[in-house]
Amino acid sequence: MATAPAPLRTTVGNLCLGSAPDSWGVWFPEDEHQVPYTRFLDELVEAGYEWLELGPYGYLPTDPRLLRAELDARGLKVSGGTAFGALHRPEAWDEMLAHVRQVAALTAAAGAHHLVFIPPMYRDEKTGVFTESPELTAEQWAGFGRAADRLGRLLLEEYDVRLVVHPHADSHIQTQGEIERLLNESDSRYTNLCLDTGHVAYGGGDNLDLIRRFGERVGYVHIKQMDPEILAQVAAEDLSFGEAVRRGVCVSPPAGVPKPADVVDELARLDAELFVIVEQDLYPCAPEVPLPIAVSTREHLAGCGLSGTRRPNIDR
């Protein structure tokens, strides 16, 4: 009797490396400061990556057949999709869900099983102007976890896609307390965490502590580092995230916090297989900037034991 093949593993054992349009300065579906998607895909391959996250919906082709053709021509595979939406605005549920369904359908068609859900920023990405209060009301918090679970259950049952909520600077899920509240008020069957190491650090959180105490809720990872000196400027000058990025808050390893090797070591202890997606916020940047950074980052992470040419056996 033949035995079942062992799950495909990666160098660390449970972690698979990829990258994202964000590392090429892509924040929007269309923008004059961004490189064409074909250049991003070509340079992703040149930098040595095989896995990618889809990025903002509309940047890469949204026709599944065209997307598949572009990826297959380059030997690329998709780790997950990316959607933006507000869980604290019940009146905007239908509009948000329509967008998320588009992303989920494309994600599933690409063979991926994660949807990275990013809360809206309460400051404009380009101007830094406050667009809403930085604090949720008690009523808004009361429904946040339930809304996440409602969305996560729908994605799982209708698309076989798992919801992972992404903490983000200048959003209502930014500090460690806010991250923990979301996890404590949601159901692990439907809502889990995209641990973005840079945004956790930006919000003053402790990545290693979150991994140790909430490891079973970490379903996906974005790995990046922040410059402590610019984080101090953010606090002293009340900078918006957009302005912090323009000042270079997001840095290449080994610079910045947290240390990638420490994060990789802690993630490698988890009883789960995870995508670890490189992101270095660069918007806006000159077209020639991203590729050398992508290469040096991959090489540094390989030195930490993290690489990835094979898909994790995803179970959450």
pLDDT digits (tens, 9 = 90+) for 258-277: 999 999 999 999 998 999 99
Query: Kind and range of the H or E element at 311?
Result: none
Picking from 54, 48, 103, the residue whose alpha carbon sits closest to that of residue 79 is 54
Task: Give the separation between CA 247 and CA 47, rounded to whole angstroms.
Answer: 25
Q: How confident is the model at residue 124 (pLDDT cuts 50, 70, 90)?
A: confident
User: Where along the chain do its domains lie?
Assistant: 15-304
pLDDT in tens, 127-150: 999 998 888 998 889 899 999 999
Q: What is the per-residue pLDDT for 13?
A: 61
C-alpha gyration radius of the chain: 18
pLDDT of residue 312 exceeding 80, the answer is: no
Stretch 52-76: mean pLDDT, rounded? 98
Q: What is the DSSP string of 31-59?
A: -TTSPPHHHHHHHHHHTT--EEE--STTT
Residue type at position 141: W
pLDDT of residue 3 exceeding 90: no
pLDDT band at 305 (very low <50, low <70, confident <90, very high): confident
**What amino acid is encoded at 231 in this protein?**
L
Nearest to 25 by CA among 219, 310, 290, 299: 290
What element of type H or E holds 185? none
Average pLDDT (16-33) is 96
> With 0-12 CB in 10 A as exposed, 13-18 as middle and 19+ as buried, what is 288?
exposed
Sign of the Cα pseudo-torsion (152, 242, 76, 96, in order): positive
Say what the pLDDT of residue 308 is.
60
Question: Parallel, antiparallel, or unpaired: how do β-strands 162-165 and 274-278 relate?
Answer: unpaired
User: Whole-angstrom Cα distance, residue 48 to residue 309?
Assistant: 10
Neighbours of 126 (CB within 10 A): 15
CATH architecture of 15-304: Alpha-Beta Barrel (3.20)
Tens of pLDDT along 160-195? 999 999 999 999 999 999 999 999 999 999 999 999
